[in-house]
Amino acid sequence: MSEREETGTGSLFAAPGMPEQERMVEAILFASSEPVTVADLNARMPHGCDAAAALLLLRDRYRGRGVQVVRVGEAWAMRTAPDLGFLMQKETVELRKLSRAAIETLAIAAYHQPVTRAEIEEIRGVSVSRGTIDQLLELEWIRIGRRRMTPGRPVTFVVTQTFLDHFGLESARDLPGLKELRAAGLLENRPPPEAADDNRPDEDTQGGLFDDTPQQEDET
């Protein structure tokens, strides 16, 4: 550190040439984890160097290249050229199964469209989270249909062409009915509930908690 004080009066060692200084700036900017100020560059380079001048040369050298020398506030850094940003993304597509809530909501929308959120909740027996609807909207499998002409004018949801394409359906009417589902073994063959048991609206909400026990394996 003591030599540094001598720079004012003239160092014993001549400063390296400009091309060499440019190399130094290049290496420092490249290896530094943060943008580097001119003062910092000068402090790290040998005495008598002119980092600011070397920086400008370096910036010109990289003009139009895949990497650029850019100013970040008071400091300098090297960055990939913005137009090549697309190369820096490695897209990995991850297939993920739709959640049970989303599938059920989607199914209700498909079978009952146009359907309001309140109706979906009534049929499912549990409330439908905002996220579930958003996800289906984002997937473009449902879209907002006409408002229902009832108090509050709630929006309705209908399935989209994208939905039909994805599931290979010509129209939502092609969805198999309950009878067909049962014939295909998709419905559990339980005896129809006894007449006496029918008037238990309070138990339906309870049923929601228990609902899917038998099919639980589906999600695993």
Partner 1 sequence: MSDPDPQFDSVADRLAAEALIVDVDGFEGPLDLLLTLSRTQKVDLRQISVLALARQYLAFVEQAKALRIELAADYLVMAAWLAFLKSRLLLPPDPSDQGPSGDDLAAHLAFQLERLAAMRDCAAKLMARDRLGRDFFARGESEGMRRVRRVKYTATLLDLMQGYARIRTRDDFRPFVMDRTDVMTLEEALERMRGLIGYAGEWTDLLSYLPEGWGGDPKRRRSATASHFAASLELVKAGRIHLRQDDTFAPIQIRARDPHDV
Residues 16-55 that bind partner 1 (CB under 8 A): 27, 30-34
Pairing relationship of beta strands 75-80 and 67-72 according to DSSP bridges: antiparallel
| Chain Cα centroid distance, residue 171 | 30
Q: Which is nearer to partner 1, 10 or 96 (CB)?
A: 96
Task: State the binding string over 123-162 for partner 1 (x if CB under 8 A, else -).
Answer: xxxx--------x---x-----------------------
Please choose which of partner 1, a second copy, none residue 206 contacts, taking the beta carbon within 5 to 8 angstroms, the exact cut-off set by kind. Answer: partner 1
| CA-to-CA separations, 187 to 173, 200, 212, in angstroms, rounded | 19, 22, 12
* Contact present, 145 and 163 (Cβ < 8 Å): no
Smallest distance from partner 1 to CB 73, Å: 14
Does 209 interact with a second copy (rule: CB under 8 A)?
A: no
> Which residues lie across from 36 on neighbouring strands?
76
Rounded CA separation 37/55 (Å):
11
- What's the N-to-C CA distance of the chain in angstroms? 66
* Contact present, 168 and 135 (Cβ < 8 Å): no
Q: For residue 48, is it left (φ>0), alpha (ψ between -120 and 50) or beta? A: left
Site for partner 1, residues 183 to 212, rule: CB under 8 A: 184-188, 190, 192-194, 196-197, 203-204, 206-208, 210-212
Site for partner 1, residues 68 to 127, rule: CB under 8 A: 68, 77-82, 85, 88-98, 100-104, 106-108, 110-111, 123-126
* Owner of token pair 């907002």: 144
* Owner of token pair 């008598």: 48
Question: Which DSSP category does 48 fall into?
Answer: T
Contact region for partner 1 (CB under 8 A) — 12-20, 46-54, 56-64, 166-174? 166-174
Site for a second copy, residues 67 to 106, rule: CB under 8 A: 67, 78, 80-81, 84, 87-91
Contact region for a second copy (CB under 8 A) — 20-28, 106-114, 123-131, 182-190? 20-28
Binding site for a second copy (CB under 8 A): 22-28, 30-33, 44-45, 64-67, 78, 80-81, 84, 87-91
